[in-house]
Chain A
């Protein structure tokens, strides 16, 4: 079956620091890959996605590339802001999603 292993954190950074959250997966076939974000007090929102190998998803300065050879989909942002403080979930699937455990990120001013 499908599964996702995600760096659990918590991660604490200063503003303008570089952020990377590791995500690796095992999957049957080649499902789509996603990063979802949950801001404090809010619901899950799609941050970015990639639907096939070598695709790069990007949004709000975040990027992740679907790497088939390393079965990874690491999330990166070059310069984080306080407003990026949230819980980030890596997920994969086509008709149903399998999620990682979530990574709590806190950005300090």
Chain B
């Protein structure tokens, strides 16, 4: 079946612009996660959703970062007023429910802020 998909695969933007990253989880997966993979910080948790609610936003680096999920499916991660330190690969993952062990990862969106 279809895996987790993310779009765009690559995004180049100028400092100060806003960007939106999209994640389509595996159909039926109620739990959805965003992570960031960067050279300096490794793989970091950002936020997770159970359904449309986000019980844990503790990994969002600043108030420029926000995320939403609608219809218990697609999620969008928005970064406002991008900075060069936001350059990273943003990964989305999903799993059937919170009690499930395994998260399934998408291919990621590579964000470059010039």
In the complex, whether B10 has a CB less than 8 A from a CB of chain A is no
- B101 lies within 8 A of A89 (CB): no
Residue of B56, B106, B108 touching A96 (CB-CB under 8 A): B56
Main secondary structure of the interface of B (DSSP, over half): strand
A45 at the interface (CB under 8 A from B): yes
Contact indicator B103/A97 (Cβ below 8 Å): yes
Are A102 and B101 within 8 A (Cβ)?
A: no
Q: Which residues of A92-109 have CB atoms within 8 Å of chain B's CB atoms?
A: 94-102
Contact assessment for B105 and A44 in the assembled complex, using a CB-CB cutoff below 8 Å: yes
Q: Please determine whether A32 and B101 come into contact, CB atoms closer than 8 angstroms.
A: yes
Of all chain B residues, the one with the shortest Cβ separation from A41 is B107
A43 touches B98 (CB 8 A): no
Asked if residues B45 and A97 are in contact (CB atoms below 8 Å), the reply is yes
| 19 chain-A/chain-B pairs, Cβ below 8 angstroms | A34-B102, A36-B105, A43-B106, A43-B107, A44-B91, A44-B93, A46-B102, A51-B101, A91-B43, A94-B98, A95-B31, A95-B48, A96-B48, A96-B59, A97-B35, A97-B43, A99-B42, A99-B43, A101-B42
A49 contacts B102, CB within 8 Å? yes
> How far is A36 from B42 in the complex, measured between Cα atoms in Å?
14
Chain B residues with CB under 8 A of A95:
31, 48, 56, 98
Query: Chain A interface (Cβ within 8 Å of chain B)?
Result: 32, 34, 36, 42-46, 49, 51, 89, 91, 94-102
Q: How far is the CB of A57 from chain B (nearest CB, A)?
A: 10
Which residues from chain A contact B102 at a C-beta distance below 8 Å? 34, 46, 49
Specify which of A43, A51, A91, A96 is in contact with B91 (CB 8 Å cutoff). Answer: A43
Contact partner of B105 among A32, A45, A94, CB < 8 A?
A: A45
Q: How far is the CB of B69 from chain A (nearest CB, A)?
A: 15
Most buried by A among B35, B43, B101, B107: B43
